[in-house]
Amino acid sequence: MSRRAKKNGGTVTRFPRRIQFNIGLIISLFILAYVVFHIFSYFTQSSVTIYEVVQGSITTDNRYRAMAIRQESLVSSPSDGKVVYFTENGARVGVRSLVCALDTTGEIASLITDKTTKSSLTLSDLSDSEQTISDFVASYTNTGFEKTYAFKNALSETLSTAYGRRIYADNADKIAAAAAGGTFMNNYPSAPGLLILSTDGLEGITADNFTSDLFEMKDYKKTSFSSNSDVKAGDPIYKLVTDDNWQLVMPISNETKDALSEKSYVDVSFDADGKTATGAVSLTEKAGQTYLILTFDDSMERYADDRFLTVSLHLDQASGLKIPESAIVEKKFYGIPKSYFLKGDDSSDVGVLRMNSSGDGEFVKPTVYFEDEENYYTDGEKVSTGDTLRQPDGTNEFSVGSIETSRKGVYNVNKGYAVFKLIDIVYESGNYCIVKAGTSYGIALYDHIALQGDSVEENKLVY
């Protein structure tokens, strides 16, 4: 507010305007500048992603294509005709199980394909189909869509077999008459076993007579059997697996050979369904190539219709604190002999006497990160290359930098700023590693560390 002008003999005298400070406006401008600064900093600074240390494990998987060897026997057709199946592929059968029948005239076989035949499936007939569907749904994944075609064929065969049993029951008199006339021959297994409705010509392969060219699969061909197929006398019509013990044979690398040298058993996971089994280990060599032979006493039924299987060997497994490789950084450390450390400053903290330009000893307390039998190791924060240290008794001197090493670690950010912590790596695989828990100067479970170790600076605030 300006003062009024005062007239003096016709002359107007103006008084100077007093400057008024608006403290509220100044504070508002200061707050605005502060907010703008932090908003600008937020959008321009690089943020740090935080990773919480967890307990975990890493397993090394070695994937191989393996050939399955089983105790298998082929059953041949006794005559020409059409074969009709009454038992599903993969079913357990006994000597009284009606597996199939041979129809030399085709009259009975045609009833199954005749859509005018007045027979319908009951809920009991459909039980095997329901199990086939249930198994497919339970194991289906988006990455395994190609298995849908195999499922379609399996379901079709299951329904055809179920319908064949229904036709057999509904036309018992007609079938009995054909059997009496020798034109319809029931087939029962000569021994109990697992029924497989396919052949590939490798039923006679054993762990002793296999050859390397089999694994190339150049001429490999699998033939499946189905109802109403025409067969000649002597043609195979089904296969029996008569022993639950089976083997997988696979060529392996020298590294895998070394990893297996002291193992009697190894866990194996199957790509087909992700399930795991344990096999007894044996190694053999042919023409300079090492082969692994795994012997199993279970799981045979799941893969009995497959000759070649892709499997993963679980050779190495480590557990501890699991951290990403991206968090790991390497830091240089100086070694200082333990004899140069002493207590000072009226405290229990240990430090060293660093000589200054006047030749006097200055007590400093460098951070000790780790130690060995002779030395403590510190970084360059309190002492650096070229500093001279004196022993407490003044007899000897030591030049910092004459002992150097580097160690791996991560940046712990629990307190809001980056603190280097050593890690003791016990296993590395892929993008993660396993480190020991409970180590001195190290990290602990549920610590927060910088996911990208090279994106932070030590002792700096982490945003």
What pLDDT digit, counting tens, does each position of 402-439 carry? 999 999 999 999 988 899 999 999 888 778 899 988 88
Of all residues in the chain, what percent carry a pLDDT higher than 90? 43
Q: Taking 90 as the threshold, does the pLDDT of residue 178 lie above it?
A: no
Stretch 298-323: mean pLDDT: 89
Stretch 451-460: mean pLDDT: 87
Tell me, what's the pLDDT at 193?
A: 95
The strand pair at 72-76 and 50-52 is best described as unpaired
Question: Regarding predicted confidence, which is higher, 332 or 228?
Answer: 332
Contacts of 196 (CB under 8 A, 6+ apart): 72, 89, 90, 238, 239, 240, 241, 304, 305
The strand pair at 11-13 and 6-8 is best described as antiparallel
Q: Which two tokens stand for residue 201?
A: 């010509």
Q: How far apart are CA 291 and CA 192, in angstroms?
A: 32
Q: How far apart are CA 201 and CA 211, in angstroms?
A: 14
Q: Which neighbouring-strand residues pair with 451?
A: none
Q: How far apart are CA 402 and CA 374, in angstroms?
A: 14
Q: How far apart are CA 351 and CA 340, in angstroms?
A: 8
The answer to pTM > 0.85 is: no
Q: Taking 90 as the threshold, does the pLDDT of residue 237 lie above it?
A: yes
Tell me, what's the pLDDT at 1?
A: 45
Q: φ, ψ for residue 417 (rounded to 5)?
A: -135, 160
Contacts of 207 (CB under 8 A, 6+ apart): 69, 247, 249, 284, 293
Indicate the average pLDDT of the chain: 83
Question: Regarding predicted confidence, which is higher, 293 or 459?
Answer: 293
Contacts of 172 (CB under 8 A, 6+ apart): none
Contacts of 41 (CB under 8 A, 6+ apart): none
Question: In which band, very low, low, confident or very high, does the pLDDT at 272 lie, cut at 50, 70 and 90?
Answer: confident
